Chains A and B, each alone.
Chain A
Amino acid sequence: AQTVTQSQPEMSVQEAETVTLSCTYDTSESDYYLFWYKQPPSRQMILVIRQEAYKQQNATENRFSVNFQKAAKSFSLKISDSQLGDAAMYFCAFFQGGSEKLVFGKGTKLTVNP
């Protein structure tokens, strides 16, 4: 079974600082997609960043970047220059190649302190 583990239920960061959210996953497949979704208080699920497993280069989207360690099955999200608007729940998710299920971790609640 596919599983996604986020070991940090809550994290906090000072505005303008950097924070890293952790995610590990379990799969026996070699092809898959990994995602970080953001859920602000509005509850809308917003895609932050996506990583294809066959790509060695870590994905980057402006202030958001990932550290993808395929052998370790680790997929952490780094938020640089944190802003108040980054405060939200962050979910790590996983689409296994050949599977049609998007599996989510339990989420990490990020607080940004002014």
Chain B
Amino acid sequence: DAGVIQSPRHEVTEMGQEVTLRCKPISGHDYLFWYRQTMMRGLELLIYFNNNVPIDDSGMPEDRFSAKMPNASFSTLKIQPSEPRDSAVYFCASSPRAGGYLTEAFFGQGTRLTVV
């Protein structure tokens, strides 16, 4: 398996523009997580899905952020409109469930977003 695949690796956009980040999880993994990493706040969990259904989006900072998982092999995180404070590295991770527990999260390479 190629691992978790995120695109793009880097994104530079102007304030006010819509940004869409993409993720392909590892095949067979039930869970998909979106994290944001900044120097100030570290790794924050934004939202996660179980079997394509959003379970907890309490970490999504504002209504400008939305995430979808239309099928088991694809998820998007959208920011509309983007603001400079959204600049961060966004990670997608997927995880299998084994024996009733989530035992490990596999991360993609991340997308570095810069909003100017």
Give residues in B with beta carbon < 8 Å to A: 31, 33, 42-43, 45, 48, 50, 55-56, 89, 91, 93, 95, 101-107, 109-110, 112
Q: In whole angstroms, how far apart are the Cα atoms of A7 and B84 in the complex? A: 30
**Contact of A44 with B104 in the complex, beta carbons under 8 Å:** no
Contacts A101-B56, A104-B43; A33 near B101 (Cβ below 8 A): yes
A100: B residues at CB distance < 8 A: 31, 48, 50, 55-56, 102
17 A-B pairs within 8 Å (CB atoms) are namely A35-B104, A42-B109, A43-B109, A44-B107, A45-B107, A45-B110, A47-B104, A93-B105, A97-B101, A100-B55, A102-B45, A102-B95, A102-B102, A104-B43, A106-B42, A107-B42, A107-B43
Pick from B31, B45, B112: contact of A103, CB under 8 Å: B45
Give residues in A with beta carbon < 8 Å to B: 31, 33, 35, 37, 42-45, 47, 50, 91, 93, 95, 97-98, 100-107
A45 to chain B, nearest CB (A): 4
Contacts A43-B110, A45-B91; A50 near B103 (Cβ below 8 A): yes
B69 to chain A, nearest CB (A): 14
Chain B residue nearest to A107 in the complex (CB): B42
Can you add 8 more A-B contacts, CB < 8 Å, to A33-B104, A102-B102, A102-B105?
A31-B101, A45-B107, A47-B104, A50-B104, A100-B56, A101-B48, A102-B33, A102-B95
